[in-house]
Amino acid sequence: MLGLAPTRAAGLARLAGFAPRAGRAYAAGRNADLAGHPHVSGLSAYVRHRLVLESEIVAAAQALHGPAAQKFVAEVLWRTYWKGWMELRPGVWQAYRHGVRAALDRVAVEAGLRRDWQAACTGATGIDCMDHWSRELVSTGYLHNHARMWFASIWVFTLRLPWQLGADFFLRHLTDGDPAANTLSWRWVAGLHTPGKTYLATADNIARHTDGRFRPEGLARAAAPLPMDDVPPPRPAPRGGVPDAGQPAALLLHEDDLGAEFLLDLGLAPVATAVMTAPEGRSPLIVAPHVAAFATGAAEDATRRLAAHLGPVAVDHHGERVDRSARRSGRVGRGLRRAAGRHALGARGAGRRPPCRHRTRPRRARHPAGSRPAGLGRRPVAACDARLFPVSRQGVAMACCGTLTVPG
């Protein structure tokens, strides 16, 4: 879905436009992958950056449909589940990144693998639906959920390509590309999430849900799970808390959560703010321009929206410091960036070294934090939506808003 305006206003307008269809119509039609995707919301890029919150989507759907919104609400909560699951097991993200690099090393020296991988990424496998989805993904930045499942299944079980390369292909092109939702969905298809359970794409199912546009031949008839890897035990859930409004604070806004309004509502008055995006960290290869443009645009929207409350702002997109409007904000920004390298996947922690070579966490920093008061009510134990801890050297506290998926 190219052409999405990366603003909260556009996301809310999209939500308002879709909400009337979020009840029974969604439950009945959501599996159909049709041109124009009439039965799904297309909200994912907005939720991914938290320009629109899960709680707002759920409330809008339930207000109009009551219990009939159940299917839609369940899908929204899948995202929350994936985010929380990954937050407790950051090693799964690190292992995935290692797997991508190892697979790319193989691509460099194995001509057959390189040929098949390139064919899958450029829409030249000869499997018509695969080639269509590959081109759709690259040209629009979006794929329907069912197409993502079929694509991943064919990639793994028919083409027998490393799953990490498929997940990487998605992350380079999806505007909603999310380390938790994407990595864990690929793992689920491959049988690495639920032991023994894989997802097998079949020609009949594809034909039924694409209105007969595709009926691929030669798909794998079985999907034996890939060998299970070691999943680290969950670490303790980060604790939430409420920011101390009386304490001087600096705010880090990063691309994983640009909905900082609730911190301001709690009385937080930042002395300065650092705004960071690093979508290029989603892959060792080049990330599509529309992906970076949406992330940057979303961060700019948040900065504009909250401008009156942020204090001096230091902006750092893709490692380029584009604005250091005040000495003070630059100083605070450096401290925040160091801390962000540790904590925010969407910021420097996404696979790059933190920008500063010194410590990545301020001395004597401690963690308790604010938690988003308007949560879903039943959010998983893993979801910690904000943190606040003192940046002792700057003499200010730091509020870092967001579900910080995978600390570095």
Ligand X SMILES: Cc1cc2nc3c(=O)[nH]c(=O)nc-3n(C[C@H](O)[C@H](O)[C@H](O)COP(=O)(O)OP(=O)(O)OC[C@H]3O[C@@H](n4cnc5c(N)ncnc54)[C@H](O)[C@@H]3O)c2cc1C
SS3 253: strand
Minimum CB separation of residue 74 from ligand X in Å reads 9
Minimum distance of ligand X from residue 5's CB (angstroms): 15
Residue bearing tokens 């030669």: 218
The DSSP symbol for 112 reads H
Strand partners, 397: 249, 390
Please give the Cα distance from 328 to 326 (Å, whole number): 5
Q: How far is the CB of 301 from ligand X (least distance, A)?
A: 18
Does 291 bind ligand X (CB under 6 A)? Our answer is no
Q: Which of 55, 145, 202, 392 binds ligand X (CB under 6 A)?
A: 145
Sole binder of ligand X in the list 7, 41, 164, 360 (CB under 6 A): 41
Closest to 137 in 3D by CA, of 183, 101, 177, 164: 177
Q: Which of 8, 14, 21, 30 binds ligand X (CB under 6 A)?
A: 30
Q: Which residue in this structure is represented by tokens 């491959």?
A: 190
Which region, judged by CB under 6 A, interacts with ligand X, from 71-79, 207-215, 281-289, 366-374? 71-79
**Residue 60 engages ligand X in binding (rule: CB under 6 A):** no
Are the beta carbons of 398 and 252 closer than 8 angstroms? Answer: yes
Nearer to ligand X, 282 or 337 (CB): 282
Tokens 């002395």 correspond to what residue?
Answer: 271
Confirm or reject binding of residue 78 to ligand X (CB under 6 A).
Answer: yes
Contacts of 256 (CB under 8 A, 6+ apart): 49, 50, 344, 345, 346, 347, 402, 403, 404, 405
Q: Are 255 and 346 in contact (CB under 8 A)?
A: yes
Comparison of 248 and 284: residue with beta carbon closer to ligand X? 284
In whole angstroms, give the CA distance from residue 307 to residue 87.
30
Minimum separation from the CB atom of position 272 to ligand X (A): 31
146 closest CA partner among 62, 211, 51: 211
DSSP 8-state secondary structure symbol assigned to residue 270: E
Q: Shortest distance, CB of residue 99 to ligand X, whole angstroms?
A: 15
Among 4, 27, 47, 382, binds ligand X (CB under 6 A): 47
Buried b (16+ CB within 10 A) or exposed e, 141-157: bbbbbbbbbbbbbbbbb
- Cα 343 from Cα 408, distance rounded (Å): 6
Q: Which of 7, 44, 329, 403 binds ligand X (CB under 6 A)?
A: 44
327: helix, strand or coil:
helix
Nearer CB in complex with ligand X: 55/392: 55
* CA–CA dist 166, 173 (Å, integer): 11
Residues 146-205 that bind ligand X (CB under 6 A): 148-149, 152, 170, 174, 176-178, 181-182, 185-186, 189
Whichever of 82 and 262 has its CB closer to ligand X, that residue is 82
Cβ distance to ligand X smaller for residue 78 or 381: 78
Contact 34, 211 (CB under 8 A): yes
Sole window of 110-118, 141-149, 216-224, 267-275 interacting with ligand X (rule: CB under 6 A):
141-149
Site map 249..278 versus ligand X, x via CB under 6 A: ------------------------------
Q: Would you say 219 or 397 has its CB closer to ligand X?
A: 219
Of 60 and 310, CB closest to ligand X: 60
40 touches ligand X (CB under 6 A): yes
Residue ranges in contact with ligand X by CB under 6 A: 30, 40-44, 47-48, 75-76, 78-79, 82, 144-145, 148-149, 152, 170, 174, 176-178, 181-182, 185-186, 189
